[in-house]
Amino acid sequence: MKKLKLLFLLLLSVAFANAQTNVTGSVTGDDGFGIPTVNVVEKGTSNGTTTDFDGNYSLNVSSNATLVFSYVGYETKEIAVNGKSTVNVTLSSGEALDEVILVGSRTAPRSNVDTALPVDVVGVKELNSTGQATFDKALQYRIPSFNTVQTPVNDATSLLDPYEIRNMGPSRTLILINGKRKNLSALLYTQTSPGRGETGADISAIPTDAIKRVEILRDGASAQYGSDAIAGVMNIILKDNVNNGSATLRSGITSEGDGEMIGISVNNGTTIGDDKGFINYTIDFSKTNLANRPGTVNAVAEADADLGFDADLGFVQEFLSRRPDAGNINGSPENAASKFLINSGLDLSENTELYFNAAYVYKKVNSFANYRTPYWRALNDDNAYLADFFPGNNPNTTNGYDGYVPTFEGLLNDYNGTVGIRTKINDWNVDLSYTTGGNTQTYKVNQSHNGNEVYTANYNPESGEFEAVELYRANSPQSFDPGGTRFTHNVGNIDISRVLSDQVSIGFGTEFRNEVFEVIEGGAASYEGGGADSFAGNTPQNSGKFNRYNFGGYFSIDYDVSDAFLLSGTIRTENYSDFGNTFVYKLSSRLKLNDQLTARASVSSGFRAPTLHQIYTQKSQYSFQPGGAIVVGGLANNVSTQAKLLGIPNLDAETSNNFTIGFGGKLENNFSFTLDYYNISVKDRIVLGAEITGTAYDANGNNIGTTPLDDILRDNNLSDISFFSNAIDTRTSGIDVVLSKRNIEIGNGDLDLNLSGNYTIQNERDGAVKDIPLVAEAGQSVVNATQEALFFTSRPETKWILGANYEINKLGVSLNNTYFGKTTFKQQGLDNNLRTEFTPKIVTDLGINYTATDKLTIALNINNILNVLPEWSFKAENAAGQDIINDTSITSTGQTEIQNQSDLITFNQRYSQMTYDGYHFSQLGTMFNLSLNYKF
């Protein structure tokens, strides 16, 4: 706290007085025409503007200021004002991107070639050229170190796909909107899928048409921005233009004839008053239909007692003759979304600006659980009512009962907004802001039932006695309200910076953040007994509101030792109400070796606070068990009675040490490159552990263990239990490469080539797992082979993007090839002597743009034009594993052992393309997208 007090004393000691001047002018290109939306920034400050449609600008600056003019595809120029009121500039085209970036520095913005840190800058044109429907999927095919996957049949995960930078999970990348922290999602990934045990911000909710550019800082930045920035920071800059509005109509379909998409978005802007400010707004509506990609189920395995359901083979074969996919529906669910966003700024005086932005997103997703076949949920005396609940056309059952498929319907509401004031007082740049945001996800389960024995006592006035009445089974509803989750935060920021001299600039500030996580109680029918079949609701005991606050401050200094050599340092301290203090630092440097080559390096410490979701989530959940069973497992939170009985400690913050070194250059003939090595060490990494089972069982499979673990499992009718813990230390290292060759003249057109890639050198556990004694003594671990694979090898070992863009007259053609490297996985139930590997694949995307008129542009994108789909195969871990692969003998199941293994991990081939727990780059194949853009 002493450090915080010193920071506040420094804030209070600032004195203010400065001479200002209003500078106007125009920015033109080589052709003499004005260039719209050029960035004009007062060097060493965040004070800036952009040119209007005719290339004109107006800006209040210090009389001795230097203006920096930058725009994509043009050279960057710095012009000293020297008291002038008019500064006109001509920018030469054909240069690589030298745009002033805002992320990565808390002192003053710098161009992306002058920064000491690796930063990717992606413009909206590049995002749109991917043809992807959402922002997160567009990044997947633009940033090699960024990965996201679509997960079928994973309950709430269908609302929000997990993403990550450098294979470190969604919770270790901080998301900013115009430099301000975006709220986390309410969703905690608890299934065996990428991102398990973590949460992140909903970046798919941001309409692409509202984005001006994206700055991705590929370096740890906790000292500058606080928690969650261990892997990097993504700063999403919103559009601020007023003259380049447009409407876009989007449509698409897969090569299978499903997954139809239709969308429309409008982006426009207007000035406020007599050019005193601007408002830019975006409205986006979209609807996507289901794209179903089930497998063909293996009847022999389905009927088998060990692999499937111990059912009559003839009965199973008859059912599969009518439903070869066993009724399963998986792939890309039906969804609809409405997105609204506004970004605005208003000049209150010559040196003071009021700014604000706000966004609201509504999303609805309709997905499905695994189909309950008539031999899985078979008719018997206890559940004969199923024939009345779900009548079908099965000739072999009562009322044609043919099973049922529960639905999972999710509703998401996400909002965020910031209001702030930027002013300049006596050479001090002051930024005061308040940010709020929230995310709510609620669910519905339909076409299901509660099949558990639950009774209530009703008084019979005739007999004068209480009688037991069954609440569910035959009296069960078929629609359920399981509840949901909600997360909100409120953030206050004070950021102050000043250029003290040509060599030294400083920045300091404070942040206060309050967070609230709420588990929303479900309806009684959704959780009583075992709850609704497929997805049990939140019980009253596990529901409630949980909150915390944190208070932090930072100090940063940049020292230009010379024009070539920059040193930068930042320190930060934070105090959390639930786990105490943390202190982190960052040091970075940049050295211009000559006019063309630059070297840079940074070293930093970092931290990530456990989220409220991880601390307080406690639930019972249905999960798939290899062999065809769906069992109920428990997740015990770290502040529960169960946690105390098991000896589970409270969660603490993760800490990290980051090291980055790299080179960049702009050579002749418009060739540029960057090469960066990174090494990230994380201590006390928070993980959601593997499911821990009982310690002893009898011949009938009954838990007869005598430990507190066994008591908890029996008392709660659970097959297993899992929990969060600071279980492991990890180390991740790799190389990022970006190469670009621009403006290659071919015929009457220009060709741009770019190659970017990420290669993971090391991504592994560092040291032993930190198991609690009770788990270790039971011969189990919270990190098993499946968990290890999820953390370290289930994402591509390397990923490369080779792109070519050719423009000639009114026609533009782009061809992008994305190489997804090898991934390996250890699915639940898989023999320990085996692993699975996804084969490296190249996905090719073609884009064609035609400018029909000055206002109308037509774009056709064919994504995955060669219809490349994931392919996996078994690999041996040792000689015993190779024997399993080579063995052609028939086992007691009537199949080879390797076929048995395949059925175990694909739910008897329901998920033959992906395996049940394995996810990769695509599930849908070729997609056709057509869009029409009309400029106002």
Q: What is the DSSP string of 409-467?
A: EEEEEEEEEEEEEEEEETTEEEEEEEEEEEEEEEEEEES----S--EEEEEETTTTEEE
Q: Are 790 and 192 in contact (CB under 8 A)?
A: yes
Range of weakest confidence among 59-68, 151-160, 899-908? 151-160
Q: Residue 159 and residue 202: Cα distance in Å, rounded?
A: 10
Whole-angstrom Cα distance, residue 363 to residue 414? Answer: 9
What is the C-alpha to C-alpha distance for residues 678 and 606, in angstroms, rounded to an integer?
Answer: 14
What DSSP line would sit under 228-265, residue for residue? T-SSEEEEEEEP--SS--EEEEEEEEETTS---EEEEE
Q: For residue 99, what pLDDT is reported?
A: 57
Q: 192: part of which helix (H) or strand (E)?
A: none
Question: Which percentage of the chain shows pLDDT scores above 90?
Answer: 60
pLDDT in tens, 104-125: 666 655 555 556 788 888 888 8
Burial class (CB in 10 A: 0-12, 13-18, 19+), 487: buried
3 state DSSP class of 865 = coil
The 10 Å CB-count burial string (b at 16+, else e) for 315-346 is: bbeebbeebebbbbbbbbbbbebebbbbbbbb
Q: What is the pLDDT of residue 16?
A: 35
For residue 10, the model assigns a pLDDT of 39
CB 487 within 8 A of CB 439: yes
Reported confidence tier of residue 287, pLDDT bands at 50, 70, 90: very high
pLDDT 10s digits, 319-372:
999 999 999 998 888 999 999 999 999 999 988 999 999 999 999 999 999 999
Q: Which residue has the higher pLDDT, 742 or 686?
A: 686
User: If 0-12 CB within 10 Å is exposed, 13-18 middle and 19+ buried, where does residue 235 land?
Assistant: buried
Distant-in-sequence, close-in-space partners of 180: CB < 8 Å, separation ≥ 6: 418, 420, 433, 435, 491, 493
Residue 634: pLDDT band by 50, 70, 90 thresholds?
confident
**Confidence tier at 705 by pLDDT (50, 70, 90):** confident
Residue 435 in contact with residue 490, Cβ under 8 Å? yes
Say if residue 742's pLDDT is above 90. Answer: no
Read off the DSSP letter of residue 382.
S
% of residues, the chain, pLDDT over 70: 92
Helices (H) and strands (E) in the chain, counts: 15, 47
User: Residues 6 or more apart from 862 whose CB is under 8 A from it?
Assistant: 131, 845, 846, 847, 926, 927, 928, 929
Going by C-beta distance under 8 Å and a sequence separation of 6 or more, which residues neighbour residue 299?
Answer: 313, 316, 317, 320
Least confident among 628-637, 698-707, 711-720: 628-637
Where b means 16+ CB within 10 Å and e means fewer, 29-42 reads beeeebbbbbbbbb
Q: Give the model's pLDDT for residue 632.
A: 52
Average per-residue pLDDT for the chain: 88
Q: 91, 27 in Cβ contact below 8 A?
A: yes
The residue ranking higher by pLDDT, 460 or 516, is 516
- Determine contact, residues 695/705, Cβ cutoff 8 Å: yes
Residue 53 or 754, more confident: 754
- Better pLDDT: 774 or 585: 585
Q: At what angle do helices 897-905 and 879-886 cross, to 10 degrees?
A: 100
Distances (CA, A) of 298 to 186, 320, 630, 826, 874: 38, 9, 18, 22, 18
- Of 50, 411, 363, residue with least CA distance to 206: 363
Greater confidence, 878 or 16? 878
**Which pLDDT does position 97 carry in this prediction?**
43
- The HSE-up count of residue 888 (CA atoms within 13 Å, CB side) is 0
Task: State residue 411's pLDDT score.
Answer: 95
Mean pLDDT of 278-301: 95
Q: What are the tokens at 499?
A: 């250029």
* DSSP characters over 12-50: HT------EEEEEEEEE-TTS-B-TT-EEEETTSS-EEE
Cα of 130 vs its chain's centroid, Å: 18
Range of weakest confidence among 172-176, 308-312, 666-670: 666-670
pLDDT computed for residue 248 by the predictor: 96
Strands in 609-719 per DSSP E: 619-625, 629-636, 654-667, 671-688
Q: Find the farthest-apart pair of alpha carbons in the chain and give their distance in angstroms, rounded.
A: 101
Supply the pLDDT for residue 35: 85
Mean per-residue pLDDT for 35-62?
83
Mean pLDDT is highest, among 157-166, 198-207, 440-449, 646-655, for 440-449
User: Is the Cβ–Cβ distance between 494 and 507 less than 8 Å?
Assistant: no
pLDDT of 238 reads: 95
Say yes or no to pLDDT of 154 above 80: no
CB atoms within 10 A of CB 92: 10
Instruction: Tell me which of 43-47, 296-300, 446-450 is least confident.
Output: 43-47
Mean pLDDT of 373-400: 92
524-535 mean pLDDT: 91
Task: Say yes or no to pLDDT of 599 above 90.
Answer: yes
Model confidence at 848, pLDDT cuts 50, 70, 90, reads: very high
In 312-384, which ranges are E strands?
A: 331-332, 334-349, 352-368
Report how far residue 239's alpha carbon sits from residue 260's, in angstroms, rounded to the nearest whole number: 29
Q: Is the pLDDT of residue 709 over 90?
A: no
pLDDT at position 5 is: 44
Q: Is 580 left (phi over 0), alpha (psi -120 to 50) or beta?
A: left
pLDDT computed for residue 628 by the predictor: 46
pLDDT digits (tens, 9 = 90+) for 851-905: 999 899 999 999 999 999 999 999 999 999 999 999 999 999 999 999 999 999 9
pTM, two decimal places: 0.86
pLDDT score recorded for residue 95 = 42
Measured CA distances, 2 to 11, 494, 507, 803, 873 (Å)? 14, 18, 19, 52, 58
